Each structure stands twice: as structure tokens, then as C-alpha cells.
Amino acid sequence: MAKYCGMIGFSSSSETKPGVWEDVVTERKYRGDIVRDYRRSYKTDEVVRDYNISNTFSIVADSYMYENFQFLKYLKYLGIAWKIESVDVQYPRLIISVGGVWNGPTASTT
């Protein structure tokens, strides 16, 4: 089983000024195992192909992750932020499944 060590992004709304709410993205570093490693590209008529992965990661969770797993947005793997599709809580780990490329805000862009 391959090992994983990388950044996972959390996003939550925060009131920056009275009546003004913005998404605040934070990243934290986690370790775990890559349970399933599957990639595929879609053949399209476009110049740039769409890539998708269906990977599953078993992450050793800390108390912060358990308290905020509903705010998980993306997981960085192979230099790309992948959107988190599902999270399965199996103490002391979280089983995270990812899908397509995350196009939302990241901690480095906010």
C-alpha cells in the first residue's frame, strides 16, 4: 500500500465585517495510505483533455479533522488539488474519496 503525505483544504464561512460573509480556506498537512489509485482521461473534442481520478485515501485524523470533516473541500495529490467526493469516518481514520480537479479557492489564493 502506498503512503500519502500532503495538504488537505478546509473551507468555512466567516464573517469578515458585519453582514459580510466570506469563505476562508485553510490547509493542514496529514499522513495516511492510498487505498485505491485509479486514473483515467476522457477523450473529448477539446484540445485539453479532462482528467479524473477515483482515488481513496485512508488518513490518520486528529481532533481538528474530526471536528471539521464536514468542511473538507480538497486534497492535494501529485501537485493538483482534487475535490473530495465523500468521507467515511472509521476511527482513528477518515476514508476520503476524491474525484475531479478542484476549481474553487485554495489557501494560497485566498
Q: Quick one: CA torsion of 74, 1, 62, 13, rounded to 10 degrees?
A: 10
Spell out the domain ranges in the chain. Answer: 2-12+24-101
Q: Is 8 in a helix, a strand, or coil?
A: strand
The pLDDT, as a whole number, for residue 15 is 86
pLDDT tens-place string over residues 73-89: 999 998 999 999 999 99
Could you tell me the pTM of the whole model? Answer: 0.83
**Mean pLDDT to the nearest integer, 84-95:** 94
Residue 43 is predicted with a pLDDT of: 61
